Chain A
Amino acid sequence: MGVYSEKDRGESPSKPSHIPTENLHLFSFSNENLYNLTSTLVTGDSMRYIPNVSEQELMLKQMNMTMEDLFKDIPHHLKREIPLHPPLSDLEVSRRIEATVKKNKTMLSFLGSGCYNHYIPSHIKELLSRSEFYTAYTPYQPEISQGMLQALFEYQSLICDLTGMDVCNSSNYDWATALAEAALLCERSTGSKKFVVSDLLSPFREKVLTTLAPDLEVVKVSHDTRGHIDLEDLKKKVAHAGGVYVEQPSFYGFLHENLSSVGEIAHDASALFTVGVDPISLGCISPEHSADVIIGDGQGLGLPQNFGGPLLGIFACRKALLRKMPGRVIGMTESESGERGFVMTLQTREQHIRREKATSNICTNQALCAVAAAMYLATMGKQGLREVAELCMRNAGYTMQKINEIPGFESPIFDAPHFKEFTVRHPQYAKVHEHLLRHNIQGGFMTDKTTAIYCVTEMHTALDIDALVTGLEGFHV
């Protein structure tokens, strides 16, 4: 019984009658491929996920139809048997995946640059695996989805408290896409396509911004020796701009001390001021009060690095911008009998109602990641978040000092306070990098042949820093 031809009829669809062995190359693109062990392949079947495999004959009979009938609307010449391997058993799959993971190497790492290794309390992982949360869809039916809705309302509330903004959506994909959305919001609000950015913004985020908002004119403003925005240059470039964007801490890890002046200059020119933040830093660093929009990445709030995704795009802004804000928002309301409850609200901004006039196309977002962030902020709380932030700053300061003492190395290159990331410079840095890799140390992210951005968090111990210092000291040209 199949959708292709007579010859399939009468055979169980879960077990293809013949497995064309010459086609068993599905995942076999490398030398150590999945199917070069065809003879020992432990096959299974997918009936465990498809209960009606055993019921289909009966159902079709009741319906007085064949499987072919159900697919007769698809033109015959379009149907084709795709060469796929037989279904695999759990044992076989586990072996395969474990073998794949082993091709990775676990190292002592000093990478950050948008994806961070922070402490994740064990109960967060446990709670996120409550399948009432993770196997639910977007809470379109609020009465049966109060758990998710309250959790997201609390996420919005926590982010508002953390950033000092009035409102926050229930997530964007990541910081980079949130930046593009912020730039488009500035355009919608002011009518200007000009968007002024610090020339030290993340190159990854810059690329996403210019890709997703190709019609905007992105203008870069230069920096002084401390890395701070050059205010004179900003005054020149801000004319007729819709928005100004700065990252705090910067991609290079230092903290700007002149952001209120930047905000003032932006506002004097009727532009909106957007600040990109590392939310962990807000444990000890004040959020910028003159900001109209605050964006950032919440991955550090309870989510593993996961090779760069899922991340969590934070998007918060002033109330005046609410109706122009992208993405879903959760609001508090009441039931008919006066109980407190939560619903998705202000949906008239969204694509399923406004279609091409929506404030954004976003539909599926990063809801579960937002819940993780809320769990993290609830767990760390008032005292814990400050402590993590100070730990990062102190550990990074300690590491910078140690590196700076090694002949040939300079750290940091910007003379300013730093949060958890900082620059390391060496005339032969590219070779230093290779040297460290040979010693099983993954150094920072190289921005050019002489410079790298290191990240040190509360997850680094004195032994880790000693290992790094020993590694760097062992480098000889």
Chain B
Amino acid sequence: MYRQATFCEPLLKEKSVAGRTGYSLPEPLGEPVSIPQSLRREELPLPELSEVDVVRHYTRLSEMNFGVDTGTYPLGSCTMKYNPKITEELSTLFSGFHPLQDESTIQGCLEVLYNLQEYLKLISGTAAVTLQPAAGAGGELTGALIIKACQKGRTEMVVPDSAHGTNPASAHMAGFDVVEIPSNDQGTVDLEALKSAVTERTAGLMLTNPNTLGIFEKDIIQIADTVHDAGGLLYYDGANLNAIAGICRPGDMGFDIVHFNLHKTFSTPHGGGGPGSGPVGVCEKLKDYLPVPLVDYNGENYYFDNDLPMTIGKVHGFYGNFQVAVKAYIYAVIMGSDIRTASQVAVLNANYLAQNLRDHYEMPYQPLRKHEIVLSCEKIKRETDCRALDIARRLLDYGIHAPTIYFPLIVHEALMIEPTESESKEELDRFIEVMIQIKNECYTTPHMVREAPHNTAVGRLDEVKAARSPVLAWNQI
């Protein structure tokens, strides 16, 4: 069993002691300045703490958190792979440079950006790449805005019912009406439904392949033809690229626009929620719509190219989450052709779990998966009243992070499991063993499951209360 550290760690404000300080600052230059009365701040209600206080506080908080470095983290769709430490270390070499420095003084930064653009083009089969979007959803919005800019008069975006919530949300933000199409009984795009959904109003289709069930859309060429024949564009949500990187390419499947989640496929850490990076690649005919600037090379120097006639504009204050791009670049340089091995082993690991769990949990749709599998706890729920959420919480007691739950929406009581290539066979075997054990618990000691977790820093939290009477800052306590 596992036991997470528990500290009844007070809030910073509760730890504050009047007069205490934690910083060191130099002497000012020149004369004191007078701030006009109307602008001057009188009250500054911040805590007062020493460096030691701050360090203990955050060290304790960190011990009440669980990361990939702590243990198995099979969070489906999130590609929680190991984050190589060398990329952390080397990326800090770039931390002191300013985005507006003269180009002649930042050739190294530009080289990284340029090379990463080229690498992503190669791996995705696209013609040009922007690194500006700060995360996957930012990439989707960028892509949707490109579609809007070149598909004037077309108002609808088609999205399968298995899609991630950011797809319809991004399409809507770009001003599209979202048309949802149902999946077929194989869990893939229903070609007939797609054919009847596409019209002269269709601007495009947003799709991930393999899809959110981990199933490869084998009719992808027909899907692409259907959308293209109707005058639409095909958008690739790259959240699931870890299944196919180095094996096949979205560009070759007919996708016109592709986003990457560098914080998934290219191993940059998720930071407890961010920062990520969501570059976007486009086919030849959409190159001129990308946000500016791109980084280009004239044979001698790297430079910013602002000269894109149809550009949609800018989607980040500067060039996106540069440091994340650096880490992804270093990862790509390290891995080289082994990026394919990573995908192969990610797929092997997922199918190994599928084979070993299929007899214990329902797994709707076909057995062969790519990098992730989706199990259903519906039968267990019916028979034991233990839900997917309870099973997820119970996993925590064993020191294993829970899978993604209740997504995709088309599987009831879904557990979406993505082991990635980082898990060893021993860890996978343990996961299988624990999953089977929890299933047995559902039938023998269901309260242990329904009341889980028991071994984490706190017991099960009341989310309804949190939403009903929100306390979102300490001044509301």
Contacts and interface: CB of A to CB of B under 8 A. Distances in A.
A415 interface: no
Nearest to B247: A3
B9 A150 contact: yes
A367 B21 CA distance: 25
A471 B385 CA distance: 76
Contact of A75 (B218, B275, B321): B218
A305 B98 contact: yes
Contacts of B153: none
B343 to A, nearest CB: 9
A52 B461 contact: no
B28 A285 contact: no
Given A115-B98, A156-B473, A214-B145, A388 B25 contact: yes
Given A94-B90, A308-B99, A364-B135, A398 B29 contact: yes
A1 B221 CA distance: 27
Interface stretch (B42-50, B193-201, B228-236, B434-442): B42-50
Contacts of A345: 463, 466-467, 470, 472
Contacts of B461: 142-143, 333-335, 341-343
Contacts of B337: 16, 19, 82, 84-87
A67 B318 contact: no
B45 A161 contact: yes
Nearest to A385: B46
A432 interface: no
Which among B145, B166, B312 has the highest number of chain A CB atoms within 10 Å? B166
Contact of A308 (B253, B319, B459): B319
A310 B60 CA distance: 25
Contacts of B115: 27, 29, 34
Interface string A374-398: 1101111111111110110111011
Contacts of A360: 169, 173
B462 to A, nearest CB: 5
Contacts of A156: 472-473
A160 to B, nearest CB: 4
A93 B330 contact: yes
A136 B342 contact: no
Given A100-B111, A168-B473, A331-B470, A286 B291 contact: no
Contacts of A158: 12, 46
A146 interface: yes
Contacts of B66: 132, 136, 141, 144-145
B97 A307 contact: yes
A365 to B, nearest CB: 4
A166 B476 CA distance: 9
Interface string B261-288: 1010001011111111010000000000
A98 B86 CA distance: 12
6 contacts: A63-B355, A70-B344, A115-B98, A132-B67, A147-B457, A148-B273
Interface in B311-326: 312-324
Contact of B218 (A50, A73, A100, A357): A73
A386 B270 contact: no
Contacts of B106: 104-105, 307
A379 B52 CA distance: 10
Interface residues of B, number: 201
A130 interface: yes
Nearest to B170: A361
Contacts of B31: 394, 397-398
B402 interface: yes
A148 B269 CA distance: 14
Contacts of A361: 137, 140-141, 166, 169-170, 172-173
B339 interface: yes
Ranked nearest first, the 9 interchain pairs of A and B with the lowest CB-CB distance are: A308-B318, A398-B30, A308-B99, A211-B313, A367-B273, A368-B271, A147-B65, A135-B67, A351-B169
Contact of A208 (B69, B136, B273, B316): B316
A119 B25 contact: yes
B305 interface: no
Interface in B61-112: 61-70, 73, 75, 78, 80-84, 86, 88, 90, 93-102, 104-109, 111-112
Given A310-B324, A339-B458, A364-B270, A146 B335 contact: no
Contacts of B270: 134-138, 364
Given A87-B336, A378-B47, A307 B22 contact: no
A3 B316 contact: no
Given A14-B338, A85-B337, A309-B316, A333 B463 contact: yes
A331 to B, nearest CB: 4
Contacts of A424: none
Contacts of B339: 84
Nearest to A347: B467
A320 interface: no
A52 B9 CA distance: 39
B1 interface: no
A51 B423 CA distance: 7
A219 interface: no
Contacts of A207: 313-314
Contact of A51 (B107, B317, B422): B422
Contacts of B138: 173, 177, 362
Interface in B327-362: 330, 333-342, 344-345, 347-349, 351-352, 355
Contact of A394 (B30, B73, B141, B347): B30
Given A151-B58, A335-B460, A394-B30, A144 B453 contact: yes
Given A86-B338, A166-B476, 15 more contacts: A3-B344, A79-B247, A103-B108, A103-B111, A107-B105, A140-B75, A150-B9, A154-B474, A171-B274, A173-B138, A214-B148, A307-B99, A310-B274, A310-B275, A332-B472
B322 A133 contact: no
Contact of B136 (A97, A127, A137, A364): A364
Nearest to A105: B105
A350 B393 CA distance: 22
A282 interface: yes
A270 B153 CA distance: 33
A237 B54 CA distance: 48
A255 B458 contact: no
Given A382-B47, A391-B28, A308 B248 contact: no
A406 interface: no
